[in-house]
């Protein structure tokens, strides 16, 4: 059994953690993964939040580790700056694309309603 699945942290201890997988099976988390992400495991234990895990085959029970999360603040700042710089591209005739789309849909709905009434 390899791949990824979701599970709930049910125990933290000096040897790692214990997770109940979606299948109902218990899995072990190595201490190294818990030490790498202590806040994530603590929050998940107290809130009973489901986490995504990568499953590694184990001897007695499967071993799991957290699925890696992309968290690059510099990249997020670059994306935000790009989106802010392109915001003006969205405006045509003083209206944003959302407004233009909504008004077009609203006109179509009104036309459809009048056609249904006749």
Read off the CATH number of the domain in which 31 is found: 2.40.50.140
| Partners of 25 in beta bridges | none
List Cβ neighbours of 78 (8 Å cut-off, separation of 6 or more).
Answer: none
| Digit-coded pLDDT (tens) for 27-50 | 999 999 999 999 999 999 999 999
Q: How far apart are CA 49 and CA 55, in angstroms?
A: 18
Same domain assignment for residues 50 and 16: yes
Among 20-24, 90-94, 95-99, 111-115, the range of highest mean pLDDT: 20-24
> pLDDT per residue over 36-85, tens digit each?
999 999 999 999 999 999 998 767 888 999 998 776 778 888 888 888 88
The pLDDT, as a whole number, for residue 14 is 93
What range does the domain containing 110 cover?
73-117
User: 36 with 57, same domain?
Assistant: yes
Whether 118 shows a pLDDT value over 70: the answer reads: no
């Amino acid at each position: 059994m390899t791949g990824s699945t979701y599970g709930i942290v049910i125990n933290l201890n000096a040897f790692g953690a214990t997770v109940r997988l979606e299948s109902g099976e218990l899995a072990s988390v190595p201490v190294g993964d818990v030490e790498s992400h202590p806040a994530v495991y603590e929050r998940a234990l107290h809130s009973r939040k489901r986490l995504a895990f990568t499953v590694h085959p184990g001897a007695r029970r499967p071993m799991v580790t957290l699925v890696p999360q992309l968290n690059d603040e510099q990249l997020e700042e670059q994306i935000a700056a790009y989106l802010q710089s392109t915001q003006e591209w969205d405006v045509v005739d003083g209206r944003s694309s959302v407004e233009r789309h909504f008004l077009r849909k609203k006109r179509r709905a009104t036309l459809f309603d009048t056609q249904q009434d006749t």
